[in-house]
Amino acid sequence: MRRIILLMTVGAVVVVGTLLAVSVAGAHKHPTAMAQKHPTRTVLIQNFHFKPAHITIKRGTKVRWINKDMHPHTATANKKDRLTQDD
């Protein structure tokens, strides 16, 4: 009887330890961690000007566009690595 209780206790410790190790290992893949790796940059369009006027971002970074003008604006890729403004 003691042997069964000991085996069940050891088995429970192994299962809990494994689950803990897996959850800690997977924590770095959480969306929040990915968002920190590729932060979001914000560009404000106001009075027909972009603020900031120039930005350089890494691939995978999200860009949030905020248009405070009354007219619509677009950002268009005219080359592989560059965007231009179209008023």
Q: What is the pLDDT of residues 27-59, one digit of tens each?
A: 555 555 555 677 899 999 999 899 998 888 888
Longest dimension (CA), the chain: 81
pTM score of the predicted model: 0.48
Q: Which residue range is the domain that position 53 belongs to?
A: 38-87
Q: What is the mean pLDDT of the chain?
A: 77
Question: Do 44 and 30 lie in a common domain?
Answer: no
Do 54 and 64 contact (CB within 8 A), yes or no?
no
Q: Which residue has the higher pLDDT, 16 or 84?
A: 16
Tokens representing 34 are: 């990915």
Helix, coil or strand: residue 39: coil
pLDDT computed for residue 44 by the predictor: 93
pLDDT computed for residue 32 by the predictor: 58
Question: Do 32 and 45 lie in a common domain?
Answer: no
Question: Do 57 and 75 lie in a common domain?
Answer: yes
pLDDT computed for residue 5 by the predictor: 82
- Which residues are within 8 A (CB) of 33 and not within 5 positions of it... i.e. 6 or more apart? 27
Give me the number of domains the chain comprises. 2
C-alpha distances in Å from residue 61, one per residue of 11, 37, 42, 51, 66: 45, 9, 11, 17, 16
Of the candidates 42, 47, 44, 43, the one whose C-alpha atom is nearest the C-alpha of residue 69 is 47
